[in-house]
Amino acid sequence: MQLHPRHFGRDLRDKLVAKLMKDVEGTCSGRHGFIVAITGIESVGKGLIRDGTGFVTFPVKYQCVVFRPFKGEILEAVVTMVNKMGFFAEAGPVQIFVSNHLIPDDMEFQSGDIPNYTTSDGSVKIQKDSEVQPLDDELGTGCCSADTEEFWAFKSGQYYSMKYDVRRTKEDMIGRIAVGLVVGFVGYVYVALRPPSPKICGSPGGPPVTSPRVRLGDGRHLAYKERGLPREQAKHKIIVVHGFGDSKGFKLPISEELLKELKIYLLAFDRAGYGESDPNPKRSLKSDAFDVQEIADKLQLGPKFYVIGIALGAYPVYACLKYIPHRLSGAALVVPLTNYWWRCFPAELSKKGLSGLVPQDRWAFTVAHYTPWLLHWWLTRKWIPSFSFLEGKTDLFSSSDLEILKHLDGPQNEEQEKVEQQGAHESLNRDMMVSFGKWEFEPTDISNPFPNNEGYVHMWQGYEDKIFPFELNRYIAERLPWIRYHEVADAGHLLIYKAAHCEAIFRALVSS
């Protein structure tokens, strides 16, 4: 448990116990289950001061009552919310999220006064207050989401079965990896290893072009979307670089009134291969930085502009800081990616960060780093667990992220349908290959882009982020004193989608 020094005194133990009950009761532990109540304190160890914060961490051993579903146990659950992303259900204190990626194809989302998923013949409907019975094969950890083998929706005295993929055991994983490595080196799998050709927007047989685009010097096009003041009237021009599996249509919770108050022109664009932007088979750190520079010049944003990179969208911002620092007024790295193979990390820190991932993500990132030519094959095999994000699993999200996910609905999903329309390899796969591949430089190789304090670089990190742990980005910030580091205690990977955090990010960027 962590305490601020202002709480130190004779009643230190009582305050520790009170904070323990406040922070722990009602939470979910992946190992022990849902913590219902603390019944006793066994011991309180010596405190350890955290460098740079003043907070003191105390090891506390306690006894508690827990609620933990076991493998094979059937739980009664009630649907609490239904939207385009899937539905939430509750089984006592356990919250279950079922992604729309896992709902059978014959069930379609129906909007209206009562959102629901309904089969084509109308015989089965899942809506708020519907009763479902999850058969728990292996309950997810951390955020108390269920990863089930199947669940049954009950209606009119009959059960309707919906099947899901389950996590594989370690023994199965090792066997599949061995088979994958052998098959990968056999010549007759050449066709399987070669990704399909992309469907270029505007080409014969390709998706239509519906967004404004600019033509780059190499002939490619980048699609874009504008918000805020007209660029001629704005004082601050900001380019936002979206993250993995996203597009220019992502909806930040920042109002037009605030953009007008801060005199901001906001530009978002589909990165190469995403949405309606042409793929770039030679995509690299440097090419993404020059894409940012060229779209700024094509739209006449002026000699300088700001950049914000979200999650995997941070690697183009790192590249801008390296290759075009003279064009920047400032930069913000929001929950930025960390490449676990950067040499600047101590070995133990990299190992800890990588081991903290769910196994299927750890293997996907490892393949992207060591054998990128195998990544398309790896992610398209049904018998190999894919990247958890692509499977719609919520293991990688914190409890605060899940709360945000409940409200991420609306017009942005229309753009979301276009994310992979030109092919997953040139969008998602290539993103992973560049992000977790061998970098041309590392963040610690970047010199201060603003030696005269004419601008600043901000880094925003969620303390609860399970995808890119705070320890890794905190280490980067400590090595680069010109980065202004903001660590948000009650936030996870989706912190920018909370209105208060989003406003703070924009205000800090332009005010500095």
CATH number, domain of 454, equals: 3.40.50.1820
Residues 155 and 40 in one domain: no
Do 223 and 202 touch, CB atoms closer than 8 A? Answer: no
121 within some domain: yes
Residues 150 and 223 in one domain: no
Residue 346: pLDDT above 90?
yes
Helix axes of 347-355 and 359-370: crossing angle, nearest 10 degrees: 130
Structure tokens at 125: 């409907």
Task: Compute the mean pLDDT over every residue in the chain, rounded to the nearest whole number.
Answer: 84
pLDDT of residue 92: 77
What single DSSP character describes residue 149? S
Residues 277 and 303 in one domain: yes
What single DSSP character describes residue 118? E
Domain that holds residue 27: 2-67
Which of 15, 42, 67 is a domain's end point? 67
Residue 180: pLDDT above 90?
no
141 within some domain: yes
Reference 486, options 465, 466, 184, 467; nearest CA is 465
Q: What is the number of structural domains in the chain?
A: 4
403 within some domain: no
Residue labelled with tokens 């941070």: 314
Residue 331: pLDDT above 70?
yes
- Give residue-wise pLDDT tens across range 432-481: 999 999 999 999 999 999 999 999 999 999 999 988 999 999 999 999 99
- Give residue-wise pLDDT tens across range 301-314: 999 999 999 999 99
Residue labelled with tokens 């440097």: 286
Residues 277 and 373 in one domain: no
Residues 154 and 131 in one domain: yes
Mean pLDDT value of segment 85-106:
79
Residue labelled with tokens 């208060």: 500
pLDDT band at 81 (very low <50, low <70, confident <90, very high): confident
Residues 248 and 327 in one domain: yes
- Give residue-wise pLDDT tens across range 371-423: 999 999 888 888 888 777 777 777 778 888 888 887 765 544 577 788 999 99
Residues 336 and 237 in one domain: yes
The DSSP secondary structure of 340-404, one letter per residue, reads TT-TTS-HHHHHHHHHTS-HHHHHHHHHHHH-GGGHHHHHH-TTS---TTTTT--TTS-HHHHHH
337 within some domain: yes
Residues 242 and 308 in one domain: yes
Do 274 and 247 touch, CB atoms closer than 8 A? Answer: yes
Residues 95 and 154 in one domain: yes
- Residue 138, domain CATH: 2.40.50.140
pLDDT band at 185 (very low <50, low <70, confident <90, very high): low
Residues 179 and 274 in one domain: no
Residues 436 and 324 in one domain: yes
Residues 467 and 318 in one domain: yes
pLDDT of residue 291: 97
Burial 345-384 (b: 16+ CB within 10 A, else e): beeebbeebbeebbebbebbbbbbbeebebbbbbbeeeeb
Q: What is the pTM of this model?
A: 0.66
347 within some domain: no
Task: Enumerate the H helices of 170-329 as residue ranges.
Answer: 170-184, 190-193, 256-261, 285-298, 314-323
The DSSP secondary structure of 279-294, one letter per residue, reads P-TT--HHHHHHHHHH
203 within some domain: no
